[in-house]
Amino acid sequence: MSDATFMLNSITNMQLTADGQYLLIHGDQPTAALHRSVLNDLLVALPNAIEHADRVIHNNQQMGFALHCQGWEVGRLNGMEMVVIRFRLSGSAGLSFSLPAGQIPYLLQALGGAAGVSESPSSDVTLQ
């Protein structure tokens, strides 16, 4: 395989192959095919690249990046000790994270601090 750089400046359409093995990206260049084994790595790399590019372009090393969220869900899968938090992004895309159930009190404390709530919820409050 050659070691040439593939420059893609626009995306017109994306789709999975019928067998779910490849994400096809159609744009201003020949179609790119990404194997499903690299999609998790790509998911990690893209927000980091967006944030870094914005910092370089705007010459602001303090600049941050966050995806816009339209909704969220919290639950457990199959009674696991891990809590799953799923965010619904624009275009109905979903992004899920799991964390140990024991970290939930610390998450509530952090969310309360960010929201300006100084107290922990009382025991008669159910958060959903």
Question: pLDDT tens digits for 24-60?
Answer: 999 998 899 999 999 999 988 988 898 999 899 999 9
Sign of dihedral through CA atoms 114, 60, 49, 88? positive
Structure tokens at 71: 């909704």
* Number of DSSP helices (H) and strands (E) in the chain, helices first: 2, 6
Q: Is 125 helix (H, G, I), strand (E, B) or coil?
A: coil
Question: pLDDT tens digits for 78-111?
Answer: 778 889 999 998 877 888 999 998 898 898 888 8
Write down the pTM of the prediction: 0.63
Structure tokens at 105: 């009190």
